[in-house]
Chains A and B, each alone.
Chain A
C-alpha cells in the first residue's frame, strides 16, 4: 500500500468527489437530524407546537428511548435480523458458489436470474409472497391436494424472517459472488491434492479465503433488516413490531421527529457497537490475515 503523500494528485482525484458527495448530501442532512434528536417541540402560547422546534434543548429524547419498552423492541429486531441474515447466508453462499463455478456461458445469465426478482418493486413482491402463502394461497392449495394443511404461514415471525431473506438476498449474493469469483482455485486444488476431503477444503480453505465477502454480505443484509419496517408491517402478525416501525411512526403518525431522530441514532449506535465488536474480534484472532 502506498502512502498518500507519495502521490497526492492521484489520492485527491480518487478521494475528492466521493468524499464531497457524502459530506454535502449525506453528513450535512444527517447533521440536521442529529440536532433534531437533541431538540424538543416548541411550546407556543402554552401549547405544544405542531411544526416548530426548540433546538438543542437536551437529551430528553435519549432518556425516553432507553425505556425498557424500546430496548425490548430493539433487542427483538436484533435477533429477527440476525436469524434472517444467517438464513440469507446459508442460501446465498451455494448460489454464489454455483454461479462462480458455472461455465462462462451461463455465468451472466445466472447472475441476472438472481438479481431479476429485485427489479420488481418490494411491495409488489411482498404482495406476491402473500398470494403464495396465505391460507388459500398456492402453497396451501398444493398441500391440500395431498391432504395436508391448510397451514397459517403468514402473519407471524416466520413470515417476517422469510420475507426479509427474500427481500435482501441480492445484497448477500453479489458481494459473495465478487469474492468467490476472484478466489484462486489453485489453493483448492492444492488442498484436495494434499488429501483433504471436499468438506475439509471448504471449511478450512474456501470459507477463510472468502471471509471478506461473507462479512460484507452479512453487514449489507443485517443492517437494512434492522431498520426495515415495510416487511414486518405487511407480513407480520399482531406481534411483529420492529424498531423500524416505531421510528417510522414517529416521523409519520406520531409526528415526533425529535424522538424519531433519537431512536434512529440509538439504532445507529447499536450498529456501530456491533461493527466495533467485529473489528475487535478480528484483531484478536489475527492469525489468519483475510
Chain B
C-alpha cells in the first residue's frame, strides 16, 4: 500500500501496517498509469458556479468528458481531500483555503506552459500574496462580503456601517449573521477598527465581547442562506456575500447590498489541481479553457460574479462590466482586506471564541 501513499509519516505507517496487510488483496488494483490519459475530468465545484454549457463546450473542444461534483463550503472541500484525493482533478478553493492547502501539499504545482491563456488574467490577479507567482492556482471569480438589507425596513433606506448588525438593538430579532467563525469574528474586528486577520488576543477578546453582547438581538447565524431569509422576510438585515444578494435583488427591488465604510473582506476563488489528481493533463487543459476569453465570458454571464479574466471582460456587455454590485468602486475595494490563512493555532483560537459566542 505504500506504493499508493508515499506521503505517509513513519508513525502512521507502523500504526496501520497490520490493517493495511489485511486489505492488501483488495488494493492490488492500481490505477493504470498509461502514457495517454483517459478522456475524463472530475471537477469539484460550488453549486451554480459555472457556465450553463461550459462543461459541454469543454468536451466539444477537447473530447474530454467532464463531470462536476459539488461542495457546500471550503471546509467541506478541505475535509474531503484531507485524507487523500478520492478522484478529483480540479477544485475551486477560496484564497485562504488555497493557502492552507498549498502549505499542506494538497495541491499540485501548475505547469504554466500548458496554460497559455494565463495571459488573459487581469493585471491585479496575475500574482497573489497567497500563491506567489501563481504557481498553484489560477484566479476564477472575486467579490466582497457585506450587508444585504430591505430598503423599506431600514431607517433612511441606506446602510453604510456594520453597526446596524453588530452594535445596535434597533432591529432586534431581524438580523442574521453568517454561521462561521472566520467571517463573523473578522467583521467584528473590522468594525472595531482592527484587521480582519488579527491574531492579537486583546483585540479578539473585544470582538468576542461585542458579539456576545449583540447576540440577543441576532435571530440566526445562517450558514449560506441569509439571502433566502432576507427574501422571505424572515430578517431585514443580513451579513452575506455580494453574489448571493445580487441574485435576490434581481427578483425583489426592495433588497439592496452595501459594503460598510469600515471595510470588509475581499475574497477570490481560485482553480487548482489537487495532489493525486488522476487526470492532471486534462486538468491543465480545463484551466486553460476556463481562462479562454469566450469561455470565461460565458461563465461570467451565467453566474454574474466578478471575473478575473480580462480577456472575457473585454468582450462582455456594459450591463455586466459597469454593474457596481458586481464590480464595486475601487475606493470600497481599497478598504477591504483579503482573508489570510492564519495557521492552525489561530484557527483553534477563533473556533473557541466562536463556540463561546454561540453557547453564551
Contacts and interface: CB of A to CB of B under 8 A. Distances in A.
State if A and B touch, Cβ cutoff 8 Å: yes
A239 B358 contact: yes
Contacts of A152: 173
A70 B359 CA distance: 9
Interface size on B, as a range, is 35 or more
B78 A252 contact: yes
A55 B234 contact: no
B211 to A, nearest CB: 10
A249 interface: yes
Interface in B185-217: 215-216
B355 A48 contact: no
B106 A35 contact: no
Contacts of B11: 53-55
B359 A233 contact: no
Among A48, A50, A236, the one with the most B-chain Cβ atoms within 10 Å of its Cβ is: A50
B343 A55 contact: no
5 contacts: A55-B11, A73-B355, A238-B358, A254-B347, A254-B348
A23 to B, nearest CB: 11
B5 interface: no
A236 B176 CA distance: 12
A134 B235 CA distance: 11
Interface string A79-121: 0000000000000000000000000000000000000000000
A155 interface: yes
Contacts of B359: 69, 72-73, 76, 241
A118 B133 CA distance: 51
B2 interface: no
Contacts of B181: 253-254
Interface stretch (B52-60, B219-227, B327-335): B219-227
A285 interface: no
Q: Considering the complex of A and B, which 4 residue pairs feature the smallest CB-CB distances, nearest first?
A: A50-B104, A252-B75, A48-B344, A254-B351
A237 interface: yes
B343 A48 contact: yes
Contact of A55 (B15, B78, B79, B180): B15
A35 B16 CA distance: 11
Interface in B81-126: 82, 100, 103-106
B291 to A, nearest CB: 28
Given A136-B232, A252-B76, A252-B79, A237 B219 contact: yes
Interface residues of A, number: 42
A70 B9 CA distance: 32
Nearest to A241: B358
A152 B344 CA distance: 39
B179 interface: yes
B48 to A, nearest CB: 17
Among A28, A238, A246, the one with the most B-chain Cβ atoms within 10 Å of its Cβ is: A238
Contacts of A54: 11
B345 A246 contact: no
B19 A28 contact: yes
B297 interface: no
Contacts of B67: none
Contacts of B173: 152
B63 interface: no
B233 interface: yes
B218 interface: yes
Interface of A: 28, 32, 35, 41-42, 47-55, 69-70, 72-73, 76, 134-136, 152, 154-155, 233, 236-241, 245-246, 249-256
B163 interface: no
Interface string B1-24: 000000001011001100100000
B351 A50 contact: no
Contacts of B343: 47-48
A256 B78 contact: no
A246 B356 CA distance: 11
Interface string B217-258: 011110100000000111000000000000000000000000
A237 B220 contact: yes
B106 A155 contact: no
A215 to B, nearest CB: 31
B348 A135 contact: no
A241 B220 CA distance: 11
B224 to A, nearest CB: 11
Interface string B250-289: 0000000000000000000000000000000000000000
Contacts of A55: 11-12, 15
A50 B344 contact: yes
Given A54-B11, A134-B232, A233-B223, A255 B356 contact: no
A237 B217 CA distance: 11
Contact of B221 (A32, A35, A238): A238
A70 B358 CA distance: 11
Contacts of A236: 220
Contacts of B105: 51
Contact of A256 (B179, B180, B351): B351
A253 B345 contact: no
A50 B215 CA distance: 32
Contacts of B180: 253
A42 B75 CA distance: 20
Given A48-B343, A253-B181, A155 B351 contact: no
Contact of A253 (B104, B106, B220, B351): B351
A47 B78 CA distance: 19
B219 A238 contact: yes
Nearest to B358: A241
